[in-house]
Amino acid sequence: MWRLLTRVCPRVTGSQALAGLRGLSLKTSPELKVCIVGSGPAGFYTAHHLLKYRESAVVDIYEKLPVPFGLVRFGVAPDHPEVKNVINAFTQTAHHDRCSFYGNVNVGKDVSIEELKQAYHAVVLTYGAEANRTLGIPGENLLGVYSAKTFVGWYNGLPENRKLNPELSSETAIILGHGNVALDIARILLSPIDSLRKTDIAAHALEAIAASKVKRILLVGRRGPLQVAFTIKELREMINLPDTCPLLHPSDFEGLKHIVKDLPRPRKRLTELMMKAALEKPSGKEAERRATACKEWGLQFLRSPLEVIPSNNGKRVAGIRLSVNKLEGLGESAKFVQTEDVEDLECGLMLSSIGYKSYPIDPSVPFDQQQGIIPNNLGRVLHAPGLYCSGWVKRGPTGVIVTTMHDGFETAESVLEDARLGALDVSASKGGFQIMEALLKKRGVHPVSFSGWQKIDNVEVANGKKAGKPREKLLDVQEMIEVANQ
């Protein structure tokens, strides 16, 4: 029995394994009303687990936008449609007869956390990391300097970023960061425009990138090749990008051959691919492809930004001053130390891809400003009974969708365990959305249901079909609401 439960519920604790037994008595257990704030992967995976393992659980998902799916819709690169397939599973969860979606409800503004706690037995915060990490250096507010989050939101059709109108008239761009988002941005900027036309990239971004003069991108990181945060898939895509040549300096990989063999397999394969691109002379078709390439990209290691260099008129970015670093320690945990040496690089576009950051949603919710997370134990918010968290606001903006899935399951299991053991009082019934509906109506807020989202979805797919794309996203919140209400 225990072996079977482990196969059904991978990566479970002893308490999680008990979840498989709950079905024997769930129909007689009291109703558990749970509110989830945020409709990205963390929210939907938490909802899925709650609904699966407690037949008396009722889950309401609140989202500040009229449309669901969070970073799957607004963060995943448009040329990675396969990653967005998780939307199919999330849609199944949303269609569950004990699950409801309420878009266009801004928790913390339209309703407070305390009001939600009055209406539900448990409130789970899964609102992600929507703020930018700033560089904290002179000149980062100059024209032509953008955060990766804002730029990604711009080409992915996030309403708040649709009017960004980035400056793409320079041949050279610098991206600060060595993560997957940094490589995503570089790939989108350098991809052949005909390949982007077949994606769900926002129409305004497609038009701007088609007219872009960016031909050279340098990705700058504070540490060395053994500490890069991107994965082999993204690196391989960059190396094989049509009409584009990788520029990796052989000197950056000196002395790594004897180290690589002892690295964990994923890091070993990633480093070997970088070394191959840097050290091996291409031949045949690959040599021909690189020789005829009209664009290029490269990796710059051991550099930290000191200041953005302004143009002569003091308004635009003209370059960046970097500190030359050295490493202390070994492997992925090695730390960088700035030296007295500096280096200036010219560029007309600079993108900061140094990570996302969560923000405190409500004064009543504990928040660790330094780490940018809600303090918690297995998803239980510390010193706040009935309050839980999941996803990036729980652990920080790291990991992939699978990481978030396990994270959501863990938090859901904490909720279920607390309800079962009495730490969460479910003896009294709760009004749930009925209470919230009255409050929202009084405040002039009109929630968008999942069927309303599906109307938006149908319009977007139809508009995309006309343009030869999988979808053309609606960019205006008011237009979304009007479509949803038709």
- Are 206 and 285 within one domain? yes
Residue 16 is predicted with a pLDDT of: 45
- Are 246 and 378 within one domain? no
Q: Is the distance from CB of 126 to CB of 415 less than 8 angstroms? A: no
Residue 460 is predicted with a pLDDT of: 98
Q: What share of the chain is helix, strand, coil (3-state, %, to 5)?
A: 40, 20, 40
Residue 251 is predicted with a pLDDT of: 94
Residue 28 is predicted with a pLDDT of: 60
- Are 13 and 63 within one domain? yes
Asked whether residue 395 carries a pLDDT value surpassing 70, the answer given is yes
CATH for 32: 3.40.50.720
Q: State mean pLDDT over 392-414.
A: 93
| DSSP code per residue over 406-441 | HHHHHHHHHHHHHHHHTSS--SS---THHHHHHHHH
Residue 33 is predicted with a pLDDT of: 98
Residue 339 is predicted with a pLDDT of: 94
Residue 227 is predicted with a pLDDT of: 94
- Are 404 and 297 within one domain? no
Tokens 């652990």 -> residue: 395
- Residue at which a domain ends, from 318, 336, 356: 356
- Are 348 and 223 within one domain? yes
Residue 476 is predicted with a pLDDT of: 97
Asked whether residue 459 carries a pLDDT value surpassing 80, the answer given is yes
Domains identified in the chain, total number: 2
Q: State mean pLDDT over 309-328.
A: 95
Asked whether residue 22 carries a pLDDT value surpassing 60, the answer given is no
- Residue at which a domain ends, from 325, 356, 387: 356
Residue 289 is predicted with a pLDDT of: 87
More confident residue, 16 or 255: 255
Q: Is 266 helix (H, G, I), strand (E, B) or coil?
A: helix
483, part of any domain: no
Asked whether residue 471 carries a pLDDT value surpassing 50, the answer given is yes
Q: Is the distance from CB of 79 to CB of 233 less than 8 angstroms? A: no
DSSP bridge pairs for 2: none
Q: What is the largest CA-CA distance in the chain?
A: 74
Domain range for 181 is 132-356
454, part of any domain: no
Q: Is 132 helix (H, G, I), strand (E, B) or coil?
A: strand
Q: State mean pLDDT over 423-436.
A: 95
Q: State mean pLDDT over 257-263.
A: 89
Tokens of 478: 């008011």
Containing H/E element for 17?
A: helix 14-17
Residue 214 is predicted with a pLDDT of: 98
406, part of any domain: yes
Q: How confident is the model at residue 174 (pLDDT cuts 50, 70, 90)?
A: very high
CATH for 327: 3.50.50.60
Q: pTM for the full model?
A: 0.91
Q: State mean pLDDT over 293-307.
A: 96
423, part of any domain: yes
Q: Please state, rounded to an integer, the average pLDDT across all residues of the chain.
A: 92
Q: Is the distance from CB of 364 to CB of 112 less than 8 angstroms? A: yes
Residue 290 is predicted with a pLDDT of: 86
467, part of any domain: no
Q: Using CA atoms in the order 259, 261, 262, 263, what is the torsion angle rounded to 10 degrees?
A: 90
Asked whether residue 1 carries a pLDDT value surpassing 50, the answer given is no
Asked whether residue 6 carries a pLDDT value surpassing 90, the answer given is no
- Are 85 and 195 within one domain? no
- Are 187 and 164 within one domain? yes
Could you report the per-residue pLDDT of 111-129, keeping only the tens digit for each?
999 999 999 999 999 999 8
Asked whether residue 267 carries a pLDDT value surpassing 60, the answer given is yes
More confident residue, 291 or 483: 483
- Are 51 and 72 within one domain? yes
Q: Say how many C-beta atoms besides its own lie within 10 A of residue 388's C-beta.
A: 26
Q: State mean pLDDT over 182-199.
A: 97
Asked whether residue 425 carries a pLDDT value surpassing 60, the answer given is yes
Q: State mean pLDDT over 72-101.
A: 97
Could you report the per-residue pLDDT of 322-367, keeping only the tens digit for each?
999 999 987 778 899 999 999 999 999 999 998 888 889 999 999 9
Tokens of 155: 């080409």
455, part of any domain: no
Q: State mean pLDDT over 376-404.
A: 93
DSSP letter at 219? Answer: E
- Residue at which a domain ends, from 305, 333, 356: 356
Tokens of 289: 């492809």
465, part of any domain: no
Residues 6+ apart with CB under 8 A from 135: 176, 305, 352, 354
- Are 305 and 350 within one domain? yes
- Are 424 and 318 within one domain? no
Give the helix ranges, DSSP H, for 81-198. 86-94, 113-119, 148-155, 180-190, 193-196
439, part of any domain: yes
Asked whether residue 14 carries a pLDDT value surpassing 80, the answer given is no
Asked whether residue 149 carries a pLDDT value surpassing 50, the answer given is yes
- Are 289 and 435 within one domain? no
- Are 153 and 296 within one domain? yes
More confident residue, 20 or 247: 247
Asked whether residue 19 carries a pLDDT value surpassing 60, the answer given is no
Asked whether residue 275 carries a pLDDT value surpassing 70, the answer given is yes
